[in-house]
Amino acid sequence: MFHTYIIFSKTLDKYYTDSCQDIENRLNDHLNSRSKYTKTAKDWALVYFEIFDSRSLAVQREMEIKKKKSRKYIEYLISKKSSS
């Protein structure tokens, strides 16, 4: 399984979108400064994810979310998922 996920740092008030195969290991990377973009904060929390059968589908979805360049869209996804 592959994931497209969004994490949030309250300290930075920022979202970060990415894709991976092992979501627990990847979140651990973010929390332990093993990711260039996310190393400035230690409070990243997983707020949204989608599951895909292939890496290419996960990356495609990641790019769709990133192309929107919209915090409102990300927050819409999160709210839609939590109301399900």
Banded model confidence at residue 84, pLDDT cuts 50, 70, 90: low
**What value does the mean pLDDT take over residues 68-82?**
92
CATH topology of domain 2-31+41-82: GIY-YIG endonuclease (3.40.1440)
Q: Around Cβ 67, how many Cβ atoms within 10 Å?
A: 9
Q: What is the reported pTM?
A: 0.93
Domain ranges of the chain: 2-31+41-82
H-state helical runs in 1-84: 23-31, 55-68, 71-82
Return the pLDDT at 35. 86
Strand, coil or helix: 69: coil
pLDDT, tens only, 19-58 = 999 999 999 999 998 888 899 999 999 999 999 999 999 9
- Token readout for 56 is 């290419």
Mean of pLDDT over the chain: 94
pLDDT at 82 exceeding the cut of 90: no
CA distances from residue 23 to 6, 45, 48, 69, 72 in whole angstroms, order as listed: 11, 12, 11, 23, 24
What's the angle, vertex CA 39, arms to CA 55 and CA 24, rounded to 5? 40
